[in-house]
Amino acid sequence: MPVWEEHAYTRRGEDGKLISLEEYYKLHPQKAFTVADFKLYAICGVGFMLDAYDLFIVNLASPIWAYEFFSGNTPVDSITVASAPAIPFLLRGAVNAAANIGNVIGQISFGFLGDAFGRKFVYGKELIIAIVGIIMIIALPVHNSPGLTDGVSKMWWLFGFRLLLGIGIGGDYPMSAAIVAERSTIKNRGRMLGWIFSNQGWGTLAASVVTCILLAIFQKPLTSGAFSQIDTIWRLQIGLALIPCIALLYFRLTMPESNKFLQSCELSAVNTSSGSSLEVGRSNGEKKIDNATEAGVTPQSGTVLDAGNRRASVAEAALAAAAAQENKKAQMYAFIEYFKKPRHALTLFGCAASWFLVDVAFYGVNLNQSVILAEIGYATGKTPYEYLLHNAEGNLIIAVAGYVPGYFLTIAFIEILGRKWIQIQGFLITALTFGILAGAPWLSSGARFALLVITQLFLNGGPNATTFIIPGEVFPSRVRGVAHGFCAAVGKLGAILSGIGFNYWSQSDHVKYPGSIGLSGVLWIFFACQLLGAIVTFFCVPETKGRDSDAEDFEEYAARVGGQ
């Protein structure tokens, strides 16, 4: 394993011996972001890049599917932007939400499996699922075949395999969050998690750029109305995501177990037994001790350094996997035991609820940004080519001006202002922008476009990033995977609700669509969600800056044992 020859949670000191990351940074403060950290950034970040790439690609590919699958035999001269073919709104909503539905399954299942079997045993499998999903999406038969005779049936094919893709992407959330949190110092943990999550921004940017290039290449068939020839556009749009996934799959599959997770598994085993001693796994045998500090467990650094200063070897990882298999039934007990304490349960509720509320707005906007751009008068054009190009350009401008910079606002200030403050101010600012967009429809298209850019800036420079970061820090390693997966899954329920409901509720024809409230009404819902998110964060979400949840978990255990 050449990339991971050095364990990501330890470094070599001047004498050549392994020392903890905290100690290393005290000796070498200028190396706060090392080559090993960059490798971690690349390997763990690819899942989030794929997540955002898929999110924006389906947003940009949907108009192409409409032209290809639903234009029928309509002559091109009679097609205008106003009369452009459209995917049935419920079907479009289902396909948009398919990956998010898969996310819920992947986040909960992989979060639990990661805690029960170990990160090493599980990591990489979620990427394999995502790769298979992408391959099957682009393998949609070109010509009509049994069961695929019309646009509706082809959209259901896309729904099914976008669901599979979503399971893989969803599994990446708890796994990558746990791995990065366990391999970072307390001082740089929030920034490192922010860097990993910022790959969503690069995925978004890549999706917009790829679409603009492909539309330019296929300008002639779009202009002439040869819609069957644009089939290649969306297949290339989606298929290009395979390149980074396949390139980094090997490194995920060969990543060793982290020391911090090994330590936390020992404490989890103690909490499910009647004794008060810790079983510390060694590559040369087992040693039973009565005090965790004698094993080299230091709450300040959360690192286990054995007598020989061994790195986390393959033998240790295998031992962790074997121990996790024996205790997989006890993992659910450990989760319940930890969260039956009111303050832990309140934190879980706060993290999950705030993630749900931000995702209602975040995915409501991003899954339907093409629709919103058309509604505010930005996506215009005399021909299908001009319409699709202006739509892609609008998405690109929003990505460059607001979406991507938002992540770097979080990275820049997270260790200065703290997570909680960034999350609250992001909720409040986006509540304001949604309120203006909803209540001032008379504004020019340029002004409304600028407000949309500001909204994206402070969604990512606020709760969209911090709702991912905080659950990765606030829960101890032994329940981090399943807790983070649960919070992420609750968040995706908000995304599903918004993705499916937006297309119906935003309709302005109240006779044809009973119960619809128009775009302004939907934006008022987003306003309310953002305002409620700020309130939930204030009362239920703790500040995690400078906190070591594993040390706190250890102290709770020590206090409980001391009182016996």
pLDDT band of 269, cuts 50, 70, 90: low
- Does residue 316 lie within any of the structural domains? no
Q: What is the CATH number of the domain that holds 210?
A: 1.20.1250.20
**How does DSSP classify residue 304?**
B
What phi-psi label fits residue 287: left (phi over 0), alpha (psi between -120 and 50 degrees) or beta?
Answer: beta
| Mean pLDDT taken over the chain | 79
- Is 453 domain-assigned? yes
Residue 29's pLDDT is 61
pLDDT value at residue 296: 39
Mean pLDDT within 3-16 = 50
Tokens of 263: 């330590």
- Output the pTM of the full model: 0.79
Rama region for 279: left / alpha / beta (φ>0; ψ in -120 to 50; rest): beta
Q: How far is CA 563 from CA 339, 508, 557, in A?
A: 20, 64, 10
Instruction: Tell me if 110 is assigned to some domain.
Output: yes
Q: Is residue 153 part of a domain?
A: yes
CB atoms within 10 A of CB 454: 18
CA 232 to chain centre: 28
In a domain, 21, yes or no: no
Contact 487, 355 (CB under 8 A): yes
Instruction: State which residues form the domain around 389.
Output: 35-258+340-551
The pLDDT tens digits of the residues spanning 74-132 come to: 544 444 444 567 788 778 888 888 998 999 999 999 999 988 888 888 999 999 999 99
In a domain, 123, yes or no: yes
Q: Does residue 5 have a pLDDT over 80?
A: no
HEC readout, 71-126: CCCCCHHHCCCCCCCCCCHHHHHHHHHHHHHHHHHHHHHHHHHHHHHCHHHHCCHH
Average pLDDT on 444-450 reads 86
- Answer yes or no: is pLDDT of 237 > 80: yes
In the chain, how many domains are there?
1
The string of DSSP letters for 387-439 reads HHHHHHHHHHHHIIIIIHHHHHHHHHHHHHH-HHHHHHHHHHHHHHHHHHHHH
The pLDDT assigned to 478 comes to 86
pLDDT digits (tens, 9 = 90+) for 172-209: 999 999 999 888 888 889 999 999 999 988 988 888 88
211-228 pLDDT, tens digit per residue, is: 889 888 888 877 776 666
487: pLDDT strictly greater than 90: yes
Please report whether residue 466 resides in a domain. Answer: yes
Residue 287 predicted with pLDDT over 80: no
In this structure, is residue 330 part of a structural domain? no
